[in-house]
Amino acid sequence: MHRRQFLGHSALAALLPLVGGASGAMAATAPAVAANTAGRLLPRPLQAGDTIGLVSPSAAVDERLSLQLAGEAMQALGFKVKTGEHYASRRGHLAGTDAERAGDLNAMFADPGVDGIVCVRGGSGAARLLPLLDYATIRANPKVLLGYSDITALHNALLSQAGLVSFHGPIGAGSWNEFNVDQFRRMFLQRELMVYRNVPSDAEDELVPRRNRTLTIRGGRARGELVGGNLTVLTALAGSPYLPEFAGRILFLEDVEEAPYRIDRMLTTLKLMGALDVIAGFIFGECTDCNPGAGYGSLTLDQIFDDHIRPLGIPAYRGAMIGHIKEQFIVPVGGQVEMDADAGTFRLLSPVFRGA
């Protein structure tokens, strides 16, 4: 789904204080969080037989079958399923009113019978919920939350306001292919210290694989806490207290159906707010269907990364299996990693679950 969220000059004027986290009156309500996983709030681990709560915090599904498939996928993974009261609702393109969607999410965190939360889909609208979430209850009941795309708004709010590590990865109604199921089991059930290395596809009739390839922007290694998600959703949080700190972090990004000029504009926003100047490393996933439209021409993505990322002098690469793709990594937002831009890999340095 296209997301067309434009940032006004007034929002840009408010950005600079946010590079270091929440500011002003809102900062007083946000917890102090250390810059490493040991200082983060870790969710309880999952095990087979647990109950997964399915919620729809963003857009409504196109067909009811998607809801059925999401539930069946969780059951096939070995879980019981509890659905949010309004997860099948619709108000315009949204899965219910803001109060209904936020209420479902708050209820899942508060419910002692729910062990983890999976978002049915992304789309648009999660950012509308951020002032309505009960962060005190979330801090008191840290649980796994899984989703991507528009769920980026929730990941960043949970990290900045509750210090909670959450997980950027497949949605409930998405593809649960062999790769994604393997990622889920290794992350949540076996609780591995994951190594994220692309699996090149050799399904095509090519001498060398062309899909799932990484490309080094600038070589080197870096360590830091992962922050980021969908580029459009992340930059739309500019001027709000819901962005995490960027200093010393590894920034990961992805996007879909955005023309290169828009990618350039959003990276420019991150540059103007000071975020790019303080990160320790940069990982870009896939920019799916990010093709230039008709007109006088377009910068290429290579040129855009050369303009914005290469001059930073930090380890950086693109092509990680993150984003709007069938096979995707499950990435802990707030987890400590080491990245190797020459190899096109990153790995977890410490557990991201309580007691692991």
What's the CA gap between 338 and 219, in Å, rounded?
13
The answer on pLDDT for 192 being more than 70 is yes
Q: Alpha helices, DSSP H only, in the chain?
A: 9-13, 24-27, 64-76, 98-110, 135-140, 152-157, 178-184, 231-236, 260-272, 301-308
Q: For the ranges 25-29, 244-248, 308-312, 347-351, which has the lowest average pLDDT? A: 25-29
Q: Give the bridge partners for 255, in sequence order.
A: 287
**Mean pLDDT over each residue of the chain, to the nearest integer:** 89
- Exactly one of 225, 245, 254, 327 is catalytic; name it: 254
What's the CA gap between 255 and 235, in Å, rounded?
12
Q: Does residue 149 carry a catalytic annotation? A: yes
pLDDT digits (tens, 9 = 90+) for 295-314: 778 999 999 999 999 999 99
- Exactly one of 166, 308, 324, 327 is catalytic; name it: 324
Q: Does residue 56 carry a catalytic annotation? A: no
* The pLDDT of residue 20: 40
The stretch 286-301 carries a mean pLDDT of 88
Q: Which amino acid is at 56?
A: S
Q: Which helix (H) or strand (E) holds 227?
A: strand 221-230
Q: In this structure, what token pair is assigned to residue 342?
A: 């020459």
* The pLDDT of residue 202: 65
* The pLDDT of residue 38: 54
DSSP letter at 149 equals G
What domains sit in the chain, N to C, each tagged with a CATH number? 37-189 (3.40.50.10740), 196-348 (3.50.30.60)
The pTM of the full predicted model, rounded to 2 decimals, is 0.88
- Exactly one of 149, 160, 166, 240 is catalytic; name it: 149
Check: CB of residue 52 under 8 Å from CB of residue 116.
Answer: yes
Confidence bin at 203 (pLDDT 50/70/90): low
* The pLDDT of residue 211: 87
- 10 against 220, higher pLDDT: 220
What's the CA gap between 356 and 117, in Å, rounded?
19
Check: CB of residue 272 under 8 Å from CB of residue 15.
Answer: yes
Q: In this structure, what token pair is assigned to residue 134?
A: 């009960």
Q: In this structure, what token pair is assigned to residue 93?
A: 């393109």
* The pLDDT of residue 237: 97
Residue written as token pair 């020459």? 342
The stretch 205-212 carries a mean pLDDT of 84
DSSP letter at 117 equals E
* The pLDDT of residue 1: 40
- 331 against 292, higher pLDDT: 331
pLDDT digits (tens, 9 = 90+) for 114-163: 999 999 999 999 999 999 999 999 999 999 999 999 999 999 999 999 99
Q: Does residue 58 carry a catalytic annotation? A: no
Q: For the ranges 72-76, 139-143, 289-293, 303-307, which has the lowest average pLDDT? A: 289-293
Strands 250-256 and 281-288, by their bridges, are: parallel
pLDDT digits (tens, 9 = 90+) for 18-63: 344 333 333 333 333 333 455 799 999 999 999 999 999 999 998 9
